[in-house]
Amino acid sequence: QVQLQESGPGLVKPSETLSLTCTVSGDSMSPYYWSWIRQPPGKGLEWIGNIYYSGSTNYNPSLQSRVTISVDTSKIQFSLKLNSVTAADTAVYYCARGRAYGGNSVRSFDYWGQGTVVTVSS
Amino acid sequence: QSALTQPASVSGSPGQSITISCTGTSSDVGGYNYVSWYQQHPGKAPKLMIYDVSNRPSGVSNRFSGSKSGNTASLTISGLQAEDEADYYCSSYTSSSGVVFGGGAKLTVL
């Protein structure tokens, strides 16, 4: 059974960098995509970006200038960095496994972490 | 990329069927058969219910079905049960190699 677990600070100051890590267990990182998705309080889901196990990335155009996703297959982890955060970045952040079903497009997210709350406040 | 359009709320009585719509554009829903649906109970992570428009992952009840016509995808839940009460989100692959979600629909079982 694949499990994902997010970790990182729950409180980040405005203008600083939000950093989260997702640890994967129960399977290898290949040949899957690995994704970050967030959900502001009381709102819907927002895709942040994907990274393929080999390292290629795709980001949400609205966040692209502030986001970096990286992968460490030796540690079976992938990470999110979001810089210059504001209160609008306050959300539950989920990591998830993206499925391409043999293609090269993420078509669904089949396993999710439990989510971690990140609050941006001074 | 703009969020896909879903009704804010839908409701039905136990045993009935309901349908939730998800409207996008030719750059996402209409352009690819890569629509997924997720169920989210309060305080929980989303759960994949449908992928590639109409495919159910192993373990998902056959009461859940999906379809698509043009730029609009639909999720139908038949034989409504109390445990189906949750938020439902659609998502689609986009022409910019990304993913876009719908705004979510809250299902109330009366």
B88 — contact with chain A (CB < 8 Å)? no
- Which pLDDT score, from 0 to 100, does residue A37 have? 98
CA end-to-end span of chain B: 35
pLDDT 10s per residue in chain A (122 long)? 999 999 999 999 999 999 999 999 998 898 899 999 999 999 999 999 999 998 999 999 999 999 999 999 899 999 999 999 999 999 999 999 999 877 778 999 999 999 999 999 99
Residue A30: the pLDDT is: 87
Name the token pair of B31.
């352009």
Q: Do B32 and A50 touch (CB under 8 A)?
A: no
Which class for A10: exposed (0-12), middle (13-18), buried (19 or more C-beta within 10 A)?
Answer: exposed
The string of DSSP codes covering B17-36 is: -EEEEEE--TTTTTT-S-EE
Which pLDDT value is given to residue B72? 98
Q: What end-to-end distance do the CA atoms of chain A give, in Å?
A: 39
* C-alpha to C-alpha distance for B77 and B85, rounded to whole angstroms: 11
Give me the pLDDT at residue B9, please. Answer: 97
pLDDT of residue B60: 98
CA distance B94 to B96: 5
Contact by Cβ (8 Å): A78, A70: yes
Per DSSP, the three-state class of B21 is strand
What is the dihedral sign for C-alpha B102, B103, B104, B106?
A: negative
Residue ranges in chain B modelled with pLDDT below 50: none
Q: Which residues of B touch A94 (CB under 8 A)?
A: 45-46
- Residues A109, B38: C-beta atoms closer than 8 Å: yes
- Residue B1's pLDDT is 72
Query: For residues A6 and A116, is the Cβ–Cβ distance under 8 A?
Result: yes
How many residue pairs bridge chain A and chain B with CB atoms within 8 Å of each other?
68
Say what the pLDDT of residue A102 is: 76
Tell me the chain B residues in contact with residue A57 when contact means C-beta distances shorter than 8 Å.
Answer: none
* Separation between Cα atoms, residue B90 and residue B107, nearest integer Å: 13
Residue with tokens 């590639």: B52
Separation of CA B26 from chain center: 18
Q: Say if strands A33-39 and A46-52 run parallel, antiparallel, or are unpaired.
A: antiparallel
